[in-house]
Amino acid sequence: MAKKTLTTLQTIAERLHLSVSTVSRVLNGKSNQYRISSRTQQAVRDMACQLDFKPNQLARSLRLRKTQTLGLVIPDISNPFFAQIARSVEIEARRHRYSIILCDTQESTELEIESVRLLRSREVEGLILLPVGQQSKHLTNLQTEDFPVVIVDRFLPDLDLPYVASNNYRGAYDAVCYLVNHSHTKIACLQGLPGTSPNERRVRGYLDALQAHNIAPDLDLIRGDSYGSQTGYDQTRQLLSEKVSVTALFALSNLIALGAIRALVELNLRIGEDISILCFDDQPYLAYMDPPITTVDQQNTEMGRLAVRLLFEQLADETIEKKNVLLPTKFIERKSVKNLCLERRNKCTPKH
Amino acid sequence: MAKKTLTTLQTIAERLHLSVSTVSRVLNGKSNQYRISSRTQQAVRDMACQLDFKPNQLARSLRLRKTQTLGLVIPDISNPFFAQIARSVEIEARRHRYSIILCDTQESTELEIESVRLLRSREVEGLILLPVGQQSKHLTNLQTEDFPVVIVDRFLPDLDLPYVASNNYRGAYDAVCYLVNHSHTKIACLQGLPGTSPNERRVRGYLDALQAHNIAPDLDLIRGDSYGSQTGYDQTRQLLSEKVSVTALFALSNLIALGAIRALVELNLRIGEDISILCFDDQPYLAYMDPPITTVDQQNTEMGRLAVRLLFEQLADETIEKKNVLLPTKFIERKSVKNLCLERRNKCTPKH
DNA sequence: TATGATTGCACAAACGATTGTGCATAAATA
DNA sequence: TATTTATGCACAATCGTTTGTGCAATCATA
């Protein structure tokens, strides 16, 4: 028997010969404020429980102008890096009794635009936005209209919105220093999507680290155009057919590394011996590869949590100054980088 | 300048000296039905565009009793297996102009109960539910109240709700046949969470495959109690310290496999040589391990898509008979299983 | 016994959209 | 010209909540 007539305040009110307002007040804990007798209170609560009353959040939100909902816009939820962030966002939001509407933009700016519009149409109170990152025009609205939003991971230079991201520059800088300290000088950089901030910052870190060690960067060693594994594979094959002298690969994402590794295996190159590799984004499996891959880990969980926290600060206090946060990365040394010459050890400190 | 007074139908109506109803009808394409002059139509459209009118979906949903929203309840969105399903659910839902409210239950039945309640309170039109899977009491409500829902991955025996899952039995059966055909007889089964349907079906497939080959199953070779990597590690160490004769490990999830692999490496056992391993859930990285791991792949994307499709069938036609779907798995042969004896090759067909 | 304070609740207006019905004015027909 | 029909829109109810205000009935006080 489907109970098709859903329970509302009205249902309860009628059964008890009360008004909806009274019922509402009781269930919202405003009994004292409005002097509802404890007999009535009990009756209302009992009936609500008996009928399994679930308040209609739509009506509530409409009236209150508060939806207790955040929008989460993400380029690809199946990417573990993003999924980890999504998880901590959801958990942190739930702690505040907020729900998450999820939009996967499939790395398409068009879908991103549509998603933001949709979410605003659904009256989310704020947005956690992981932008595709190559365009920002559509986001300036958010800025000018002062809509609560926190940008995560990829931020956009000409946009003054609060963001939280890894300190990609520093992470890359340190990683390359590590390579150099292991006597690598011919280091290829397998980059992700050019024009996106993590990529640009990492490339910059790569270049600066080289220069800090008086190694003239060879721009031809910077290859690639996406964070995916196919790029890693293609570029590695291409590169090694041209530049046989490369001794190390610096992959700017774990997927790129995965592709590169496949190429290396096909080329019968032993990782950590014939060629070294080091990549961004630690993932559980990287510790189990043979050899285990040395990585630059990002604090994904912290990133999500912090984003939500910054967003709530905006919601609570509209005049708060917009903060930007760069989270430190963590270098995880494993066995994929060979020390070419144990003698040589330089000091290494970043420029910025 | 924050435009704090948001644009509503009223705003447009006032500016044009029209009624809200007229504006609403124009924007909903009912101009002809209600004979709105084309001059008025144009004016309304222009003004809506000029003011960047975004219809308040709350109000709309409340009135229409349709939220165009589905709830997605998932045990752990950071698990790539679930994340892939989530992605295809989101994409398929969006194709139908539906949004997804995401709830991560953190593998807790309690949070699952709370989530279902919350989502119903938010008036989602249906649920895609990946249950924690060991309790079903709280889900019988959905059944008796005839609330649209599709269960994914883990289904519950005493619950008559439509589900979509992999054919775990067949997948496991085939996998074990493969092991047996490679002359393994001492095969350990590193299981996931007992009591959950995928686990039970896989274990059943494992047992049946052994018996089909006249190998008496040793129940002591079935170990473990969770889908995580720690279990894989612990159980593998424990097992190999007791049962040195085991020649192959059948891991019921990729994370379990990962843990097992770590243990094997620590024990200086060469995978595919000293010991063989085979696992459920293909993931990109498994092809890049050394050696590449042979797996039973599940059609995650298809699972998500199908779940949404079944849900929409329910929404469209309430009298439709509830379908259950088992998707075939795909065996992916790589190099982690050694053929102990090239001579021996048995025929192998499943019992069910 | 008036008067005032207190108790306990109901009425009604919002929130922003949709939609059945009604009512002018204009055009078409008799 | 009188009547019908068509045109073009407005009015008001509704979805389920929340909340400011009002108003009886009861109680305490003078």
**B351 within a domain of the structure (yes/no):** no
Inform me whether the pLDDT recorded for A348 exceeds 90. Answer: no
Say yes or no for a CB contact (<8 Å) between B56 and A146. Answer: no
Say yes or no for a CB contact (<8 Å) between B122 and A99. Answer: yes
CATH number, position A117: 3.40.50.2300
Tell me the pLDDT of chain A averaged across its residues.
93
Q: What single DSSP character describes residue A218?
A: -
Is the distance between the Cβ of A141 and the closest atom of strand D smaller than 7 Å? no
Q: What is the mean pLDDT of residues A51-69?
A: 97
| Chain B interface, best mutation among A77, A107, A283, by max B CB count within 10 A | A77
CATH number, position B42: 1.10.260
- Do A294 and A312 share a domain, yes or no? no
- Do A203 and A275 share a domain, yes or no? yes
Is the distance between the Cβ of A37 and the closest atom of strand D smaller than 7 Å? no
- Do B139 and B84 share a domain, yes or no? yes
Shortest CB distance from A121 goes to which of B55, B83, B104?
B55
Is the distance between the Cβ of A24 and the closest atom of strand D smaller than 7 Å? yes
- Do A138 and A91 share a domain, yes or no? yes
Q: What is the mean pLDDT of residues A28-48?
A: 94
**B336 within a domain of the structure (yes/no):** no
Q: What single DSSP character describes residue A275?
A: B
**A123 within a domain of the structure (yes/no):** yes
Cβ-based contacts of A288 with chain B (< 8 Å): 258, 261-262, 265, 289
- Evaluate if pTM is beyond 0.85: yes
What per-residue confidence (pLDDT) applies to B133? Answer: 83
- Do B294 and B181 share a domain, yes or no? yes
- Do A186 and A278 share a domain, yes or no? yes
- Do A249 and A145 share a domain, yes or no? no
**Residue A240 phi/psi, 5° resolution?**
-75, -20
Q: Which residue has the higher pLDDT, B186 or A322?
A: B186
- Asked if A34 contacts A25 with a C-beta cutoff of 8 angstroms, the reply is yes
What per-residue confidence (pLDDT) applies to B4? Answer: 52
Distances in whole angstroms, Cα of residue B231 to Cα of each of A100, B13, B105, B117: 31, 64, 21, 32
- Do A190 and A292 share a domain, yes or no? yes
Contacts of A52 (CB under 8 A, 6+ apart): A7
Inform me whether the pLDDT recorded for A330 exceeds 50. Answer: yes
Nucleotides of C under 7 A from a protein CB: 7-12, 14-21
**B333 within a domain of the structure (yes/no):** no
Cα B206 from Cα B185, distance rounded (Å): 12
A-B contacts at Cβ under 8 angstroms: 146
pLDDT-based confidence at A321, cuts 50/70/90?
confident
What per-residue confidence (pLDDT) applies to B2? Answer: 37
Q: Which nucleotide is nearest to A123 (CA to C1')?
A: C16
**B61 within a domain of the structure (yes/no):** no
Q: Does B84 touch chain A (CB under 8 A)?
A: yes
For chain B, the three-class secondary structure string (H helix, E strand, C coil) is CCCCCCCCHHHHHHHHCCCHHHHHHHHCCCCCCCCCCHHHHHHHHHHHHHCCCCCCHHHHHHHHCCCCEEEEEECCCCCHHHHHHHHHHHHHHHHCCCEEEEEECCCCHHHHHHHHHHHHHCCCCEEEECCCCCCCHHHHHHHHCCCCEEEECCCCCCCCCCEEEECHHHHHHHHHHHHHHCCCCCEEEECCCCCCHHHHHHHHHHHHHHHHCCCCCCHHHEECCCCCHHHHHHHHHHHHHHCCCCCEEEECCHHHHHHHHHHHHHCCCCECCCEEEEEECCCHHHHHCCCCCEEEECCHHHHHHHHHHHHHHHHHCCCCCCCCEEECCEEECCCCCCCCCCCCCCCCCCCC
Task: Detail the protein residues whose CB sits closer than 7 A to any atom belonging to strand C.
Answer: A 13, 17-22, 34-37, 39-40, 59, 62-63, 65; B 6, 8-10, 20-21, 24-25, 27-28, 30, 34, 53, 55-56, 59-60, 62-64
What per-residue confidence (pLDDT) applies to A191? Answer: 97
Residues 130-169 of A with CB under 8 A from B: 144-146
Instruction: Provide the residue range defining the domain that includes B107.
Output: 68-166+300-327
Residue A239 CA to nucleotide D27 C1', Å?
94
Residues 252-311 of B with CB under 8 A from A: 255, 258, 261-262, 265, 283-290
What per-residue confidence (pLDDT) applies to B317? Answer: 81
**A335 within a domain of the structure (yes/no):** no
- Do B80 and B124 share a domain, yes or no? yes
- Do A131 and A145 share a domain, yes or no? yes
Q: What single DSSP character describes residue A153?
A: S
Shortest CB distance from A290 goes to which of B87, B286, B290?
B290
Cβ-based contacts of B123 with chain A (< 8 Å): 56-58
What per-residue confidence (pLDDT) applies to A133? Answer: 83
- Do A85 and A74 share a domain, yes or no? yes
What per-residue confidence (pLDDT) applies to A1? Answer: 34
pLDDT-based confidence at A47, cuts 50/70/90?
very high
A103: closest CA among B127, B69, B283, B301? B69
Say yes or no for a CB contact (<8 Å) between A77 and B83. Answer: yes
**B255 within a domain of the structure (yes/no):** yes
Q: Does A64 touch chain B (CB under 8 A)?
A: no
Cα A290 from Cα B290, distance rounded (Å): 6
**A128 within a domain of the structure (yes/no):** yes
Q: Which nucleotide is nearest to B11 (CA to C1')?
A: C16
Which regions of chain B are under pLDDT 50?
A: 1-3, 343-348, 351
What per-residue confidence (pLDDT) applies to A320? Answer: 77
Residue B44 CA to nucleotide C23 C1', Å?
23
- Asked if A160 contacts A181 with a C-beta cutoff of 8 angstroms, the reply is no
Is the distance between the Cβ of A21 and the closest atom of strand D smaller than 7 Å? yes
A117-136 confidence digits (pLDDT tens): 999 999 999 999 999 988 88
- Asked if B330 contacts B323 with a C-beta cutoff of 8 angstroms, the reply is no
A235-265 confidence digits (pLDDT tens): 999 999 998 899 999 999 999 999 999 999 9
Distances in whole angstroms, Cα of residue B68 to Cα of each of A1, B94, B182: 25, 10, 52
Q: What is the mean pLDDT of residues A220-239?
A: 95
pLDDT-based confidence at A5, cuts 50/70/90?
low
| Chain B interface, best mutation among A288, A289, A314, by max B CB count within 10 A | A288
- Total count of domains within chain B: 3
Inform me whether the pLDDT recorded for A288 exceeds 70. Answer: yes
Say yes or no for a CB contact (<8 Å) between B90 and A80. Answer: no
- Do A211 and A260 share a domain, yes or no? yes
